[in-house]
Structure 1
Amino acid sequence: MIQQLVQRLVAAGLSQQDAALAVLGSDPMDLVLHMEQVWDQANIWNEPGGPAGPARRALWASGAFSPVPPTAGPAWDHIGYSYVLENTRAVQILRRVVKEFRGGEGLGIPQRATSRWLDATEAMLFGGANLVSPWLSTSSFRPDPEGVRRGIYWRVLGVDLAFGTEANAPAVFDKAAAANTGFVPLFEELLFELWQAMSNLRNTSGVNQADDDRIFRIAEQLGYQLRVRRQQGMLAREELAAATVLGWVHLTLSTNTPVIVDLRAEASSPGERLKLIGERVGLAPHTRSGSFLAMATELSLLLRTLEAGYVSGPQFAWLLYAQAQPPGTGPAPAGAQPLGAFSRRVITEWSAASGKDLKKAVVPARVNVVAKPSAPASR
């Protein structure tokens, strides 16, 4: 949601940097109201008029980012986007940043823009104001927002973060029995098959190594696994909260923003900035943070395409590996776009992050035939 808001401001005429600074310097209440509008517009349960009542709609009208224009695509990033960003350990590192600035002057005196960032970060990431508790999907019943997100990563992707608590103790969260534990091996095989298909596109002679039928079967199974966790709008609110929080982190690290300057962490890439911040507060990020940060947006697009069920047959496998529609193929499904460049980035960065060479053969995963695929997810 954060990245989408920045692009909306860019479309309205701001530069990319000015749009980022406008969001990072905004009042957390305005961001809460904006997120509520995004949630209402998504209307996950197709309720007449949306899920919100007139009181909340009247409050939204006072927000700095109101009204939210209609959108045909997803209104926020996929949970996979949040997972790879959180796996950098950026949230725990920024927790220490907030704690140090609030507790003393060890990090220096924050400039005005950094103070604004601190207010919003404390509220959004760590529940510094009661008004954001529903936004973080937290309550007295589930008080730890990181634990809530870990639970979603486990249920949807079958993975946990690569580290424990900030104190390096084992993380405790509700680990549901119903989880997509076979998702990652199957996804990695898909990436291998996509690389083979990409390599074939460059060949003018020789054996065609693209296996469109295999790509379709894997995509079908992955899409089914993702949609199973979406029944009746399940986890949608939690996904939006996670995407917003991690989108804030992503935007903070995207350029040499005021807080980056105050932390003396200026660098040429988000991964380097996070490393320098970690050194300032004594908590090292994941060693492959650069790769996680580099593929987050592209991974979101790829997973959204799989979940939407656009690859409904071998004839549409090219959507996942071509940069443009190949000659002789039928029209793409409405709303779909070729993801060749995005998939290539995911293959490269996922290989670097996992230490697996996905451009070489992997152990084939078992693919179940989905007799009747679920209806494509609209968001």
Structure 2
Amino acid sequence: MGALSPLLAGGSGFRWDHLIYAYMVENTRVYEIFRRVVDELLHGEKLGAPTAEAQAWLRNTEELFFKDGAPFFIGSVTSHIRRDLRGSRRNPYQRMFAMELNHGTDDGKPYEYVRAEAANNDFVSTFEELLREAWVGMTYVTATSSSNPTDPSKIALLASKLKNMLLSRRQNGNLAREEFAAVSAMAWFHMTLEYTNTNDNSPIVKSLRAEANGTEQRLFKIAERVGLPAHGLSKHFFDIADAISRILIQIETGDFDDEAAVPALYTPAGVATSPEAAMRRIITHWTAITGRDVKARKVATN
């Protein structure tokens, strides 16, 4: 859903996807790749002359994501103080999740941006512990013996800890504009690659002769054309983005603070958008992305 719109249904109406959605999609390197596409098409014909439909995409993309925003526009997050749009996204990622993007500059150097002292440094360890406990619940959800190690109270405690951690960065609407700008940009490029109209590709994908089955395969073809490789795990980043966004939104709204609500995270509901289905997707792709098997129980050490 995030790829089709930055808005996502929430407990109190509608809101855009969580910042984690933008973080995951940006790790594919989609922004830098399309930046090269726009640059090449605006300065020459190395990629060929864009079709009329691709011209419309080009104008809209430059206007929305590669130009200073209009004054008072919610997505305007650059200024004389914050001159770097990419750095303006990396800073919230670091503050909310204490995580860096997996790529630096185009020439492979570390990306320089302003890092905040106040950051959620325990986010990853806490989130992975939540995934581990949810997996235990999935494994034993049909068990009837007294040896079932599922611990709903611990899961509720971890969810509450994550909620407080994330909301501490959002006090008084802090980071809301930055989140909206990041999510809107990544959703636009994700939609460009995922777009289907009677199983068709988007105009810019067709103009670049990058038709393929699968979002990541289209990205790989475009990346090859502009000479900037996409991340090899792009499929995992695309596939986790919507699910992890939905779960973190629910965690922030306190949906799993109550121990009685926790079983939804590990009990199958037969619906593709259920919390349990989202958690399974997250566990699978988080393990592939990080190389850490969250299905394995922690081993106690003395």
* Map of 2:294 onto structure 1: 358
Matches within 5 A, 1:149-228: 149-203=89-143, 207-228=147-168
**AA in 2 matched with 1:321:** Y
Equivalent pairs counted in the alignment come to 292
SS at match of 1:4: coil
Which of 234, 242, 265 pairs up with 1:289? 234
**AA in 2 matched with 1:4:** S
Please report how far the alpha carbon of residue 146 of structure 1 lies from its aligned counterpart in structure 2 after TM superposition.
0.9
More displaced, 131-140 or 262-271? 131-140
Contact 2:140 2:148 (8 Å CA) reproduced: yes
Q: 1:339 and 2:284 equivalent?
A: no
* Map of 1:94 onto structure 2: 34
Paired with 1:145 and 1:133, the residues of 2 have a C-alpha distance of: 15
Gaps of 5+ in 2: 196-200
Matches within 5 A, 1:263-274: 263-274=208-219
**AA in 2 matched with 1:79:** L
Paired with 1:149 and 1:191, the residues of 2 have a C-alpha distance of: 26
* Map of 2:198 onto structure 1: none
Paired with 1:271 and 1:225, the residues of 2 have a C-alpha distance of: 32
Please report how far the alpha carbon of residue 132 of structure 1 lies from its aligned counterpart in structure 2 after TM superposition.
9.0
For residues 202-233 of structure 1, give each alpha carbon's deviation from its aligned partner in whole angstroms, at most 9, with x where no partner exists.
44657313111111111111111001011111
* Map of 2:222 onto structure 1: 277
Please report how far the alpha carbon of residue 355 of structure 1 lies from its aligned counterpart in structure 2 after TM superposition.
1.5
* Map of 1:15 onto structure 2: none
Contact 2:8 2:17 (8 Å CA) reproduced: no
Q: 1:298 and 2:299 equivalent?
A: no
* Map of 2:56 onto structure 1: 116
* Map of 1:240 onto structure 2: 180
* Map of 1:4 onto structure 2: 5
Contact 1:85 1:292 (8 Å CA) reproduced: yes
Paired with 1:224 and 1:197, the residues of 2 have a C-alpha distance of: 23
Change (3 A) 1:308 1:285: same
More displaced, 163-172 or 225-234? 163-172
Paired with 1:271 and 1:136, the residues of 2 have a C-alpha distance of: 29
Gaps of 5+ in 1: 9-41, 43-70, 326-336, 365-379
Q: TM-score, normalised by structure 2?
A: 0.89
Paired with 1:243 and 1:160, the residues of 2 have a C-alpha distance of: 16
**AA in 1 matched with 2:279:** S
Paired with 1:95 and 1:142, the residues of 2 have a C-alpha distance of: 19
Paired with 2:130 and 2:53, the residues of 1 have a C-alpha distance of: 44
* Map of 1:73 onto structure 2: 13
**AA in 1 matched with 2:4:** Q
Change (3 A) 1:362 1:271: farther
* Map of 1:147 onto structure 2: 87
Q: Give RMSD over aligned pairs.
A: 2.5
Q: TM-score, normalised by structure 1?
A: 0.72
For residues 257-289 of structure 1, give each alpha carbon's deviation from its aligned partner in whole angstroms, at most 9, with x where no partner exists.
111111222121111111111111111111111
* Map of 1:316 onto structure 2: 261
**AA in 2 matched with 1:291:** H
Contact 1:136 1:145 (8 Å CA) reproduced: no
SS at match of 2:106: coil
Q: Whose RCO is larger (CA < 8 A, sep 6+)?
A: 2
* Map of 2:191 onto structure 1: 251
* Map of 1:261 onto structure 2: 206
